[in-house]
């Protein structure tokens, strides 16, 4: 595990050079482009995470966070958060420790959502994403790329993933939508949007976590197991 590398530049200079188009600028891997690619095919296909995450370079963590959030939008109370939460936390811990590339155990890497889930999500969010793509853009890169910023983002996402796992009534969609915005900020390398995420994340963690006491107890138990 290499802790000195920034996950926002997952493949380094070689991949950045490889990704450049004829104009000399690296193409953007936005949310809508990602959804279009994932939705293209047989709706009954299963999108294995190992296949989805291949050759994504700097976008890998944002894409993995996006994929981790999808089950939370399923109309299955309790189960959806129980599926999304641990995967969000697995992704977030790797950001927290500044891992260069995300790692997934084989039994998770071979699994993923059905393509029809992505298609439904794309249809449901099409109008919102059209608006977002007009205002979201690469900016304030230090907020997304600086190691201290990445650690802070990872810490918030660990706690939000933990909250998503808890059986808090009527919160699955709220937490999943917030996590999707984090994924969008990582995908688009938008530091201004990440600052908004931080503010909303602190509010959500404070309101739902610290005030209830559940987050502190569960976080302490988790830290005891890790360390």
> Per-residue pLDDT tens for 11-66?
433 343 333 333 333 334 577 778 888 888 888 888 888 888 876 655 788 888 98
Q: Is 165 within a domain?
A: yes
User: How many structural domains is the chain composed of?
Assistant: 1
Q: Tens digits of per-residue pLDDT, 140-178? A: 999 999 999 999 999 999 999 988 887 777 778 888 889
Q: Is 13 within a domain?
A: yes
Q: Is 38 within a domain?
A: yes
Q: Is 194 within a domain?
A: yes
CB hemisphere CA count around 5 (13 angstroms): 16
The boundaries of the domain holding residue 55 are: 7-17+27-226
**DSSP 3-state of 170:** coil
Q: Is 81 within a domain?
A: yes
Contact 180, 124 (CB under 8 A): no
DSSP code at position 166: S
**DSSP 3-state of 77:** coil
Q: Is 2 within a domain?
A: no
Listed residue (180, 202, 178, 182) closest to 190, CA to CA: 182
Which tokens in the block code for residue 186? 């990582």
Contact 145, 8 (CB under 8 A): yes
Q: Is 60 within a domain?
A: yes
Q: Is 1 within a domain?
A: no
**DSSP 3-state of 84:** helix
pTM for the structure as a whole: 0.75
End-to-end CA distance of the chain: 17
- Which position has the token pair 């509010």? 203
């Amino acid at each position: 595990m290499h802790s000195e590398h920034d996950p926002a530049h997952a493949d380094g200079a070689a991949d950045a050079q490889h990704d450049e188009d004829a104009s000399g600028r690296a193409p953007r891997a936005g949310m809508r482009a990602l959804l279009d690619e994932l939705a293209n095919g047989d709706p009954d296909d299963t999108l294995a995470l190992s296949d989805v995450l291949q050759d994504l370079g700097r976008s890998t963590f944002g894409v993995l966070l996006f994929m981790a959030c999808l089950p939370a939008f399923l109309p299955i109370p309790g189960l959806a958060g129980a599926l999304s939460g641990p995967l969000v936390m697995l992704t977030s811990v790797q950001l927290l420790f500044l891992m260069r590339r995300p790692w997934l155990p084989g039994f998770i890497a071979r699994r993923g959502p059905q393509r029809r889930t992505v298609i439904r999500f794309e249809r449901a969010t099409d109008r919102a994403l059209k608006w977002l793509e007009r205002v979201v853009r690469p900016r304030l890169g230090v907020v997304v790329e600086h190691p201290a910023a990445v650690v802070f983002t990872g810490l918030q996402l660990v706690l939000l993933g933990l909250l998503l796992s808890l059986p808090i009534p009527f919160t699955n969609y709220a937490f999943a939508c917030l996590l999707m915005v984090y994924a969008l900020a990582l995908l688009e390398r938008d530091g201004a949007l990440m600052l908004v995420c931080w503010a909303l994340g602190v509010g959500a963690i404070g309101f739902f976590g610290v005030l209830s006491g559940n987050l502190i107890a569960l976080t302490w138990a988790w830290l005891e197991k890790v360390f």
